[in-house]
Protein backbone atom coordinates (compact mmCIF):
# COMPACT_ATOMS: atom_id res chain seq x y z
CA UNK A 1 0.00 0.00 0.00
CA UNK A 2 1.27 3.33 -0.97
CA UNK A 3 1.40 5.80 1.86
CA UNK A 4 0.70 9.35 0.82
CA UNK A 5 3.12 11.81 2.35
CA UNK A 6 1.58 14.94 3.80
CA UNK A 7 2.51 18.04 1.90
CA UNK A 8 5.27 19.91 3.70
CA UNK A 9 4.10 23.22 5.13
CA UNK A 10 5.11 26.28 3.20
CA UNK A 11 8.43 27.54 4.44
CA UNK A 12 8.02 30.89 6.07
CA UNK A 13 10.53 33.63 5.56
CA UNK A 14 12.75 34.16 8.58
CA UNK A 15 12.28 37.48 10.36
CA UNK A 16 15.03 40.07 9.94
CA UNK A 17 18.08 39.82 12.15
CA UNK A 18 18.50 42.17 15.11
CA UNK A 19 20.95 44.28 13.12
CA UNK A 20 18.43 44.55 10.29
CA UNK A 21 15.67 45.52 12.70
CA UNK A 22 17.82 48.19 14.32
CA UNK A 23 18.69 49.52 10.87
CA UNK A 24 15.01 49.63 9.92
CA UNK A 25 14.27 51.74 12.98
CA UNK A 26 17.17 54.15 12.48
CA UNK A 27 16.26 54.51 8.80
CA UNK A 28 12.73 55.49 9.85
CA UNK A 29 14.02 58.93 10.89
CA UNK A 30 14.02 61.08 7.74
CA UNK A 31 16.27 63.82 9.16
CA UNK A 32 18.33 64.64 12.25
CA UNK A 33 15.53 66.67 13.87
CA UNK A 34 12.67 64.21 13.20
CA UNK A 35 10.64 63.00 16.18
CA UNK A 36 8.63 59.78 16.00
CA UNK A 37 6.26 58.05 18.40
CA UNK A 38 6.34 54.31 19.05
CA UNK A 39 3.29 53.95 16.80
CA UNK A 40 5.09 55.86 14.03
CA UNK A 41 8.10 53.54 14.25
CA UNK A 42 5.96 50.39 14.20
CA UNK A 43 3.97 51.66 11.22
CA UNK A 44 7.00 52.73 9.17
CA UNK A 45 9.09 49.62 9.86
CA UNK A 46 6.20 47.10 9.86
CA UNK A 47 7.64 45.62 13.04
CA UNK A 48 5.29 44.40 15.78
CA UNK A 49 4.73 47.13 18.34
CA UNK A 50 6.25 45.07 21.16
CA UNK A 51 9.32 44.29 19.08
CA UNK A 52 9.76 47.92 18.09
CA UNK A 53 9.44 49.01 21.72
CA UNK A 54 12.05 46.48 22.89
CA UNK A 55 14.57 47.59 20.26
CA UNK A 56 13.87 51.26 20.91
CA UNK A 57 14.72 50.70 24.57
CA UNK A 58 18.05 49.14 23.59
CA UNK A 59 18.84 52.00 21.20
CA UNK A 60 18.08 54.50 23.99
CA UNK A 61 20.43 52.77 26.41
CA UNK A 62 23.21 52.81 23.81
CA UNK A 63 22.55 56.51 22.94
CA UNK A 64 21.60 55.80 19.34
CA UNK A 65 18.27 57.49 20.15
CA UNK A 66 16.92 60.09 22.56
CA UNK A 67 13.42 60.12 24.05
CA UNK A 68 11.23 62.91 25.39
CA UNK A 69 7.52 63.44 25.94
CA UNK A 70 7.15 64.35 22.25
CA UNK A 71 8.71 61.12 20.96
CA UNK A 72 11.97 59.54 19.84
CA UNK A 73 14.76 61.32 17.97
CA UNK A 74 18.27 60.49 16.80
CA UNK A 75 20.72 60.43 19.69
CA UNK A 76 24.26 61.60 20.21
CA UNK A 77 25.90 58.44 18.88
CA UNK A 78 23.88 58.45 15.64
CA UNK A 79 24.50 62.15 15.05
CA UNK A 80 28.22 61.85 15.75
CA UNK A 81 28.51 58.92 13.35
CA UNK A 82 26.93 61.04 10.63
CA UNK A 83 29.10 64.03 11.41
CA UNK A 84 26.03 66.06 12.37
CA UNK A 85 27.32 67.27 15.71
CA UNK A 86 29.70 70.20 15.57
CA UNK A 87 33.04 69.92 17.32
CA UNK A 88 32.51 71.50 20.72
CA UNK A 89 35.89 70.63 22.21
CA UNK A 90 37.14 74.24 22.12
CA UNK A 91 33.98 75.49 23.82
CA UNK A 92 34.15 72.84 26.53
CA UNK A 93 37.85 73.50 27.14
CA UNK A 94 37.34 77.27 27.40
CA UNK A 95 34.39 76.85 29.77
CA UNK A 96 35.72 74.09 32.05
CA UNK A 97 37.48 76.28 34.64
CA UNK A 98 34.59 78.73 34.80
CA UNK A 99 32.00 75.98 35.25
CA UNK A 100 33.96 74.52 38.15
CA UNK A 101 34.39 77.95 39.72
CA UNK A 102 30.63 78.60 39.52
CA UNK A 103 29.87 75.28 41.16
CA UNK A 104 32.34 75.88 44.00
CA UNK A 105 31.16 79.46 44.64
CA UNK A 106 27.43 78.73 44.57
CA UNK A 107 26.98 75.05 45.42
CA UNK A 108 24.48 74.83 42.57
CA UNK A 109 24.36 72.62 39.49
CA UNK A 110 26.09 74.13 36.45
CA UNK A 111 25.23 73.41 32.83
CA UNK A 112 27.01 74.11 29.57
CA UNK A 113 24.83 73.73 26.48
CA UNK A 114 24.56 74.57 22.79
CA UNK A 115 21.56 75.31 20.60
CA UNK A 116 20.56 72.41 18.36
CA UNK A 117 17.71 73.46 16.07
CA UNK A 118 14.87 74.24 18.51
CA UNK A 119 16.43 72.48 21.49
CA UNK A 120 19.36 72.86 23.83
CA UNK A 121 21.88 70.01 24.02
CA UNK A 122 23.75 69.60 27.28
CA UNK A 123 27.53 69.40 26.88
CA UNK A 124 28.50 69.41 30.57
CA UNK A 125 26.78 69.13 33.92
CA UNK A 126 28.64 69.50 37.18
CA UNK A 127 27.57 70.01 40.76
CA UNK A 128 27.46 68.69 44.28
CA UNK A 129 25.22 65.81 45.32
CA UNK A 130 21.94 67.67 44.58
CA UNK A 131 22.95 67.74 40.89
CA UNK A 132 21.56 64.23 40.55
CA UNK A 133 18.08 65.61 41.31
CA UNK A 134 18.15 67.93 38.29
CA UNK A 135 16.47 66.04 35.40
CA UNK A 136 19.17 66.63 32.79
CA UNK A 137 22.13 64.67 31.49
CA UNK A 138 25.13 65.22 29.28
CA UNK A 139 24.09 64.49 25.70
CA UNK A 140 20.44 65.04 26.54
CA UNK A 141 18.08 67.66 25.18
CA UNK A 142 15.46 70.12 26.41
CA UNK A 143 13.21 72.59 24.57
CA UNK A 144 14.89 75.95 23.99
CA UNK A 145 11.79 78.12 24.40
CA UNK A 146 11.15 77.17 28.05
CA UNK A 147 14.69 76.86 29.41
CA UNK A 148 16.95 79.67 30.57
CA UNK A 149 19.77 78.20 28.49
CA UNK A 150 17.64 78.25 25.36
CA UNK A 151 16.29 81.74 25.89
CA UNK A 152 19.77 83.12 26.54
CA UNK A 153 20.78 81.90 23.07
CA UNK A 154 17.50 82.59 21.24
CA UNK A 155 17.70 86.22 22.38
CA UNK A 156 20.65 86.73 20.01
CA UNK A 157 19.02 85.21 16.93
CA UNK A 158 16.90 87.09 14.37
CA UNK A 159 13.19 86.92 15.22
CA UNK A 160 12.36 85.00 12.05
CA UNK A 161 14.88 82.31 12.94
CA UNK A 162 13.43 82.01 16.44
CA UNK A 163 10.00 81.49 14.90
CA UNK A 164 11.30 78.79 12.56
CA UNK A 165 13.23 76.95 15.24
CA UNK A 166 10.69 76.82 18.04
CA UNK A 167 7.33 77.96 16.67
CA UNK A 168 6.10 74.56 15.42
CA UNK A 169 7.13 72.79 18.64
CA UNK A 170 5.85 75.06 21.40
CA UNK A 171 3.61 73.43 23.98
CA UNK A 172 3.11 73.66 27.72
CA UNK A 173 5.59 71.47 29.59
CA UNK A 174 4.19 72.59 32.95
CA UNK A 175 1.49 74.98 34.13
CA UNK A 176 4.03 77.84 34.05
CA UNK A 177 5.42 77.35 30.54
CA UNK A 178 5.51 80.30 28.17
CA UNK A 179 4.15 78.44 25.16
CA UNK A 180 3.22 81.22 22.71
CA UNK A 181 5.57 82.96 20.29
CA UNK A 182 4.50 86.50 21.11
CA UNK A 183 5.02 85.89 24.83
CA UNK A 184 8.38 84.31 24.06
CA UNK A 185 9.50 87.37 22.09
CA UNK A 186 8.49 89.59 25.02
CA UNK A 187 10.71 87.43 27.24
CA UNK A 188 13.62 87.55 24.78
CA UNK A 189 13.37 91.35 24.78
CA UNK A 190 13.65 91.27 28.57
CA UNK A 191 16.69 88.99 28.28
CA UNK A 192 18.46 91.52 26.08
CA UNK A 193 17.40 94.30 28.45
CA UNK A 194 19.12 92.41 31.29
CA UNK A 195 22.38 92.34 29.28
CA UNK A 196 21.76 88.72 28.29
CA UNK A 197 20.54 87.15 31.54
CA UNK A 198 17.67 84.67 31.13
CA UNK A 199 15.58 83.32 34.01
CA UNK A 200 13.16 80.40 34.16
CA UNK A 201 11.24 78.95 37.10
CA UNK A 202 9.31 75.70 36.75
CA UNK A 203 8.58 76.10 33.03
CA UNK A 204 10.49 73.08 31.74
CA UNK A 205 10.71 70.92 34.87
CA UNK A 206 8.53 71.33 37.92
CA UNK A 207 10.28 72.75 40.99
CA UNK A 208 13.45 73.62 39.04
CA UNK A 209 14.71 77.18 38.50
CA UNK A 210 17.56 78.37 36.26
CA UNK A 211 19.49 81.47 35.29
CA UNK A 212 21.64 81.48 32.15
CA UNK A 213 23.81 83.69 29.99
CA UNK A 214 24.88 83.31 26.38
CA UNK A 215 28.43 82.66 25.16
CA UNK A 216 28.56 84.69 21.95
CA UNK A 217 30.63 84.93 18.81
CA UNK A 218 30.74 86.97 15.58
CA UNK A 219 28.17 84.67 13.97
CA UNK A 220 25.75 84.57 16.88
CA UNK A 221 25.20 82.31 19.92
CA UNK A 222 27.99 79.81 20.57
CA UNK A 223 26.62 78.24 23.74
CA UNK A 224 25.25 79.12 27.16
CA UNK A 225 26.02 78.56 30.83
CA UNK A 226 23.37 78.13 33.53
CA UNK A 227 23.05 77.72 37.27
CA UNK A 228 20.24 75.46 38.43
CA UNK A 229 18.50 75.15 41.77
CA UNK A 230 15.07 74.44 43.19
CA UNK A 231 12.18 76.85 42.73
CA UNK A 232 13.03 78.80 45.90
CA UNK A 233 16.70 79.45 45.01
CA UNK A 234 17.48 83.21 45.00
CA UNK A 235 18.97 83.18 41.52
CA UNK A 236 19.14 86.97 41.27
CA UNK A 237 22.03 86.90 43.75
CA UNK A 238 24.16 84.56 41.65
CA UNK A 239 23.10 85.85 38.23
CA UNK A 240 26.06 88.26 37.91
CA UNK A 241 28.43 85.30 38.34
CA UNK A 242 26.82 83.50 35.42
CA UNK A 243 26.99 86.58 33.22
CA UNK A 244 30.64 87.12 34.11
CA UNK A 245 31.51 83.48 33.35
CA UNK A 246 29.80 83.64 29.94
CA UNK A 247 31.63 86.85 29.07
CA UNK A 248 34.97 85.37 30.08
CA UNK A 249 34.42 82.28 27.92
CA UNK A 250 33.37 84.54 25.03
CA UNK A 251 36.61 86.53 25.44
CA UNK A 252 38.71 83.35 25.49
CA UNK A 253 37.10 81.97 22.35
CA UNK A 254 37.08 85.30 20.44
CA UNK A 255 39.74 87.58 21.96
CA UNK A 256 39.67 90.05 19.06
CA UNK A 257 35.87 90.35 18.88
CA UNK A 258 33.85 92.96 20.75
CA UNK A 259 30.19 91.98 21.29
CA UNK A 260 27.82 94.54 19.86
CA UNK A 261 24.08 94.58 20.12
CA UNK A 262 23.71 91.24 18.38
CA UNK A 263 22.36 90.26 14.97
CA UNK A 264 20.19 92.63 13.00
CA UNK A 265 16.45 92.03 12.72
CA UNK A 266 16.03 91.21 16.41
CA UNK A 267 12.41 91.83 17.28
CA UNK A 268 11.93 94.40 20.04
CA UNK A 269 8.65 94.01 21.91
CA UNK A 270 7.56 96.59 24.44
CA UNK A 271 6.17 95.26 27.67
Q: How far apart are CA 268 and CA 271, in angstroms?
A: 10
Asked if 109 and 118 count as a contact pair (C-beta separation under 8 A), the reply is no
Asked if 139 and 184 count as a contact pair (C-beta separation under 8 A), the reply is no
Q: What percent of the chain has pLDDT over 90?
A: 35
Q: How far apart are CA 136 and CA 24, in angstroms?
A: 29
| The pLDDT of residue 34 is above 80 | no
Q: How far apart are CA 255 and CA 107, in angstroms?
A: 29
Contacts of 152 (CB under 8 A, 6+ apart): 191, 196, 197, 198, 212, 213, 214, 221, 224, 226, 246
Position 14 scores a pLDDT of 41
**17 vs 25 pLDDT, higher one:** 25
Q: How confident is the model at residue 63 (pLDDT cuts 50, 70, 90)?
A: confident
**pLDDT of 222-241, one tens digit each?**
999 999 988 888 899 999 99
Contacts of 59 (CB under 8 A, 6+ apart): 22, 25, 26, 65, 75
**pLDDT of 69-126, one tens digit each?**
678 888 877 776 655 455 688 898 899 999 999 999 998 999 999 988 888 999 888 8
| The pLDDT of residue 4 is above 60 | no
Element (DSSP H or E) covering residue 244: helix 235-253
Q: How far apart are CA 51 and CA 95, in angstroms?
A: 42
Q: How far apart are CA 105 and CA 193, in angstroms?
A: 26
The burial of 10, by beta-carbon neighbours within 10 Å (0-12 exposed, 13-18 middle, 19 or more buried), is given as exposed
Phi-psi region of 57 (alpha: psi -120 to 50; beta: other; left: phi over 0): alpha
User: What phi, psi does 77 have (nearest 5°)?
Assistant: -65, -40
The percent helix, strand, coil of the chain (3-state, each to 5) is 40, 20, 40
Q: How far apart are CA 213 and CA 244, in angstroms?
A: 9
**174 vs 57 pLDDT, higher one:** 57
Amino acid sequence: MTVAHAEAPERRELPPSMVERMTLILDAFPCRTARLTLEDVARITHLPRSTAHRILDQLLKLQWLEHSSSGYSLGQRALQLGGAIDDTSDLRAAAATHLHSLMVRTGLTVHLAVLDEGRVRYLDKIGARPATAVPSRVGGYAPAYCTALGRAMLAYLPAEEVDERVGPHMRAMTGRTVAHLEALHHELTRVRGRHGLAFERGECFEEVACVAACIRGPEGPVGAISLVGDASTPLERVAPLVLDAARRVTAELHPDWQPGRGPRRLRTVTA
